[in-house]
Amino acid sequence: MPQLDVNTWPPQLFWLAVTFLVLYFIISKIVIPRTGGVIEGRKNQIDSDLNAAQRFKADTDKAVADYEKALADARGRAQAIAKETRDKLNAEVDKERSKLDGELAAKIAAAEKTIQETRSKALASVTELATDIATDIVGQLTGTKVTKADAAKAVAKAQGN
């Protein structure tokens, strides 16, 4: 094998050095700059993408804050409208209630007056009825005829007790 022959080592070392230097030159002057450029380009793209993502995040945070503010404002307006409507309805209900209370009070007063009149009439007719009944009872029990005037006196005397 020629690689193991000591006499062929100097040319092999020479060509090794020449090949190493040529490859070193190619890698250092052509490959590394291109690779470095690609890496630098990728780094710049990543930085650009990160900056854009941060801008989008800031825009999103601002949009969310604006949305929450608008939502809070809408809730406040809705509560104000609800309170205004509730107050208006309560006022209408109170007005109707007072109107109905007045009507009911008038009807109750009229009913009490009618009851009082009916009671007075009933009491007057009770006395007359008691007189008639007393006359009939005395007539049936004793067989004598009692005048209405005597029966009325007896009923009046009994009511006075």
- Model confidence pLDDT, tens digit, residues 49-108: 999 999 999 999 999 999 999 999 999 999 999 999 999 999 999 999 999 999 999 999
0.75 exceeded by pTM: no
Q: How far are the Cα atoms of 72, 113, 121 from residue 134, in angstroms, in the given order?
A: 87, 31, 20
- pLDDT of 161 reads 52
Q: How far is CA 28 from the centre of its chain?
A: 73
- pLDDT of 1 reads 67
- pLDDT of 153 reads 85
- pLDDT of 103 reads 93
The dihedral built from the CA positions of residue 19, 22, 28 and 32, taken in this order, carries a sign that is negative
The residue type found at 121 is K
